[in-house]
Amino acid sequence: MTKGYISIILHSHMPFIRHPNLKDPLEERWLFEGISECYIPLIEVYDKLIKDHMDFKITMSITPTLMTMLEDEYLNKRYLKYLKKSIALSEKEINRTKYNKELAVLAKFYNERLSKILDIYRNYDYNIMNAFRKFDKLGYLEVLTSAATHGLLPLLAINPESVNAQIGVGVQCYLEYMGHPPHGIWLPECAYTHSLDPVLKEYGIDYFISENKAIINASPKSRYGVYAPISLPNGISVFGRDIESSYQVWSDFKGYPGDFDYREFYRDIGYELPLEYIEPYINEDKVRIDTGIKYYRITGNTDNKEYYNRKIAMERIKEHGEHFFKCRVEQIDKFSRHMDQPPIIVCPYDTELFGHWWFEGPDFIDEFIRKTMQNNCNYKLISPRDYLKKYPIVQCSSPCSSSWGENGDFSVWINPSNQWIYRKIHKCGKQMVRLSNTYKNPTDLQRRTLNQAARELMLAESSDWPFIIKNHTAVEYAVKRINNHVDRFNKLYDSITKDAIDLKYLSQLEKLDNIFKSIDYKIYQDSK
């Protein structure tokens, strides 16, 4: 008997990291690693589930920047080159490790795995958006949109037109690549504030996902907490994140990914083997990087790591899949007793956790879904949209401002380390509105310049840059990206207002920052 529902939501996002002007940019590898380690392994899981007649349902957000890059011919060609180089390295490793039984098994494993990834990539015509469109069409996958460049919307709201453009272009991009309008949206970083309500309504959004704090502190108080959606006064539904299921995966201390038998992320042959051996497979500037070939398991809090054993890791996956399954059964039993509608447990995660940070993550997804499908349990898998179809009447309440970042607020993205960003992008935002209101009947050249100015502004607004700066990862790169896009915007702004458009410079930017080809700058016009 179905007493409730589980909704697995995977948030898939990469910043726009396309650099055709550079020979071997390190940042493009972020995307290539995501494709090889997360997206294609998940595609393989979905295909196998369908082949085995598993009537599953999963939800994924795929941000407009990621969709655009996955559709980009240049990046797909670069990825294919990267993948073939990875396969060549794995073949070389088979020969190098042949006298070490444990390493030889792992080298063969990586070679077979990478070859399979190439087969899947080839089967989807070297464009994995074809896979996601297929799953969407078949009804197994619901895809959500997001803001255009993953801008943190509450921090952009000083210019309402910037928020409108981020959401509007996000919806437009989704329509172009998926072939139909989106029903739900992933608000970047689950960051919500009340001023977003009318914009989401205008663009036909039915629901979004929020941090649990937004629901728990809603006004009036949510009757069922996060275990049923609430409705904004304008009719948009809000689903809150379940903390228990999140903790089981995310926790640094007790989360499944930290099990000692799982693969160690921080040991890679790219840093360990002699430079003369590994040089053809790392960065062309001889910068040591992750190759994806990692031979050790977490082992424990020690530098003396033991070799990874795939068979044992898969045994742990079965145990953790079983545990996760039983916990959801218990939750549904517990909450259904006190509710007059079936509860829904919403489990949102970053997609990139599954496969990249947690190598066995896609296998965990597969195991959990199979446990659900093969047992006559008290819940079913569902998408938020399908839940609303079944139970359209929800409590009207207003969630509080929040995010899923540290402290549940916006402090990760605005703090002493990165607050300088907003002075720059807010100024550009105001100037963009001024341009849009002034040039209502532009020449073709002016239109191209105005559209490119809009692209540069949006790229500067990405939440990735302040996040990177706060976490002290690729700080130099993030600062450079912000300043480059702001500088490009300012040059375009000056060239328009001074009637001195540099066609050569404009053409260069159109090739370099070619995101959102159908953008219309008029989306920045104010409503006054």
pLDDT value of residue 153: 97
Cβ-proximal residues to 84 (8 Å cutoff; 6+ apart), any chain: 118
List Cα–Cα distances, 39 to 56, 188, 240, 292, in angstroms.
Answer: 18, 19, 25, 15
**CATH superfamily, with its number, for domain 415-524:** Families 57/38 glycoside transferase, middle domain (1.20.1430.10)
pLDDT tens track for 9-44: 999 999 999 999 998 899 999 999 999 999 999 999
pLDDT value of residue 255: 92
Nearest to 374 by CA among 97, 94, 52: 52
List Cα–Cα distances, 136 to 58, 59, 131, 188, 252, in angstroms.
Answer: 10, 9, 9, 22, 33
Please say whether the beta carbons of 257 and 361 come within 8 A: yes
pLDDT value of residue 528: 53
> Is the pLDDT score of 130 beyond 70?
yes
Distance CA 23, CA 324 (A): 45
pLDDT tens track for 302-355: 999 999 999 999 999 999 999 999 999 999 999 999 999 999 999 999 999 999
* Domain boundaries of the chain, sorted by first residue: 4-264+310-407, 415-524
Sign of CA dihedral 425, 430, 431, 437: positive
Pairing of strands 230-231, 237-240: antiparallel
Cβ-proximal residues to 464 (8 Å cutoff; 6+ apart), any chain: 15, 150, 478
Residue 528: burial class (beta carbons within 10 Å; 0-12, 13-18, 19+):
exposed
List Cα–Cα distances, 275 to 201, 280, 480, 494, in angstroms.
Answer: 56, 9, 29, 48
pLDDT tens track for 68-123: 999 999 999 999 999 999 999 999 999 999 999 999 999 999 999 999 999 999 99
| Domain spanning 4-264+310-407, CATH architecture | Alpha-Beta Barrel (3.20)
Please say whether the beta carbons of 283 and 289 come within 8 A: yes
Residue 111: burial class (beta carbons within 10 Å; 0-12, 13-18, 19+):
buried
| % of the chain at pLDDT higher than 70 | 99
pLDDT, mean of residues 508-522? 97
Please say whether the beta carbons of 136 and 142 come within 8 A: yes
pLDDT tens track for 454-511: 999 999 999 999 999 999 889 999 999 999 999 999 999 999 999 999 999 999 999 9
Mean pLDDT of the chain: 96
pLDDT, mean of residues 176-187? 98
> Is the pLDDT score of 515 beyond 90?
yes
Q: What's the whole-model pTM score?
A: 0.96
Q: How many alpha carbons fall within 13 Å on the CB side of residue 326?
A: 6
Distance CA 260, CA 81 (A): 34
Local confidence band at 254 (pLDDT 50, 70, 90 cut-offs): confident
pLDDT, mean of residues 442-458? 98
